[in-house]
Amino acid sequence: MKIAYLMNQHPYASCTFIRREILELETQGIDVTRFSIRKPELALTDAADQQEFQKTRFILGSKFDLLLNAVRGVMSRPQRFLAALRLALKTGWKSDRGLLVNLVYLAEACGLLRGCIEMGIDHVHAHFGTNATAVAMLCHALGGPSYSFTVHGPHEFDKPEAIALSEKIRHAAFVVAISSFTESQLFRWCDYPQWSKIHIIHCGVDDLFLLQPSVPLPQESRFVCVGRLGEQKGHLLLLEAVSQLAAEGLRFKVVLVGDGPLRAQIEQRIKALNLHDYLEITGWATNAEVQQQILAAQVMVLPSFAEGLPVVLMESLALGRPVLSTYIAGIPELVEPGVCGWLVPSGSVTTLAAAMRQVLQTPLADLERMGQAGAARVAQFHSARVEAARLAALFQRYVTHPGLADMADSVQERDSKERDSGAIALPRNLEKVPSQISSQISS
């Protein structure tokens, strides 16, 4: 079985979880080919990303590739091309990016199809339910391999109709949700018979974090915030909370690790609030540098108001650092207040400042215990190796044995309907049918 991974840009500094997933799949014997629609826009500073770049096939190399791909698609598979064109037009009418962009996706899909044929690809898996998944869907319509995709949020749920999310789910072999929250939002945008093909596979951290020897928390009161400097991460709210605590005479440091479009505005706000003694911005950092910044802090703070389930929270907990974040999306599934961190309503400077004050007043020994609880939680639910094994099982189920997968899905759907209605009480032996099918697949 040969799997192709498709991303819009790969590798990408903020998507190291994709690289980890691919590497873990390869460790488990899955043959993975990396496809990226275009080359990364940002320079790659991490050595692991540079290595990943060398392994990646890029669909678009020059400005003539789109036209050349489309011509090849028309000439080689005229009927399939017309079917894919109808699908592109159907999804393009409501697209926020316009019909022309969706026709570009079709040309890109022709390029992907050619690459899949050359490499003998059996199945395509895309990350994010946006343009990469659109290309995978159109490639399938051209007669290419089946496809699946992982949905992270929040962007897919900001405009589900504009990105034709329902259509993408309908044509997919299966869909991966990174959390229960993500799964619930996908349920909103597809018909009930499609629910059985949606599966939760968590993002995970690798041995670089899971096997890191325990490092005691530093004595210095220090927060770290890792993430792209953009509006949704809540950095500007964090500055306001820091300003309130500074006015109370509390002494601490907050290190912002990352870069992005909001950096200049954040720097101006730091200057306006006179917070130079409290705030530091490091800029982009490698994986190793991020790890060291986390270890140098007592607590991770991430006051986001738009997220999926941030991998950086998993990384912090894996390193024994409790986290302070917000009650949004999948974060409450990872962070249990009072056990491994604190959660506050997103957008509230007052409650954020109060939680940070509580962190500063918490004895170091208690912070250590919370960090240890978080590390155990991540090891149990967010091991990249374990989650990759579960994903590999889905590839095996839907790609190698698609007929049995359909049987399992139909049985699960029927059982669910009958249990919900209360009309039929299934005998115990019939309740075992899905697992029996799964055992046949694994054998």
Residue-level pLDDT at 404: 55
* Residue carrying the six token digits 């590739």: 65
Instruction: For residue 56, give the amino acid letter.
Output: T
Angle at 296 between CA 293 and CA 260, to 5 degrees: 25
201-238 residue pLDDT tens: 999 999 989 999 999 999 999 999 999 999 999 999 99
Q: Distance from CA of residue 307 to its chain's centroid?
A: 10
Closest by CA to 294, choosing from 328, 256, 330, is: 256
Instruction: For residue 268, give the amino acid letter.
Output: Q
d(CA 380, CA 195): 26
The b/e string for 1-39 (b: 16+ C-beta within 10 A; e otherwise) is eebbbbbbbbbbbebbbbbbbbbbbeeeebebbbbbbee
d(CA 230, CA 220): 27
Pick the CATH number of 2-200 from 3.40.50.2000, 3.40.50.150, 3.30.1280.10, 3.20.20.80: 3.40.50.2000
63-98 residue pLDDT tens: 788 889 889 889 999 999 999 999 999 999 989 888
Which residues have a Cβ under 8 Å from the Cβ of 370 and sit 6 or more positions away?
322, 339, 340, 341
End-to-end C-alpha distance for the chain, whole angstroms: 15
d(CA 443, CA 426): 26
Judge if 2-200 and 220-384 fold alike in CATH terms.
yes
Pick the CATH number of 220-384 from 1.10.3720.10, 3.40.50.2000, 3.20.20.220, 3.30.420.40: 3.40.50.2000
Residue-level pLDDT at 403: 62
Enter the pTM of the model. 0.89
d(CA 227, CA 307): 11
Do β-strands 146-151 and 222-226 pair in parallel, antiparallel, or remain unpaired? unpaired
Residue-level pLDDT at 333: 98
Cβ atoms 373, 261 nearer than 8 A: no
Task: Domain ranges for the chain, please list them.
Answer: 2-200, 220-384
d(CA 196, CA 175): 9
Split at pLDDT 50, 70, 90, the class of 409 is: low
11-55 residue pLDDT tens: 988 889 999 999 999 999 999 999 999 999 888 878 889 999 999
Residue 196 has pLDDT above 60, yes or no: yes
Residue-level pLDDT at 189: 96
d(CA 304, CA 327): 9
257-296 residue pLDDT tens: 999 999 999 999 999 999 999 999 999 998 889 999 999 9
Measured over the CA atoms of residue 363, residue 366, residue 370 and residue 372, the dihedral's sign is positive
Share of the chain above pLDDT 90, in %: 81
Long-range contacts: 261-265, Cβ < 8 Å, 24+? Answer: 261/229, 261/230, 262/229, 262/230, 262/231, 262/235, 262/236, 263/229, 265/236
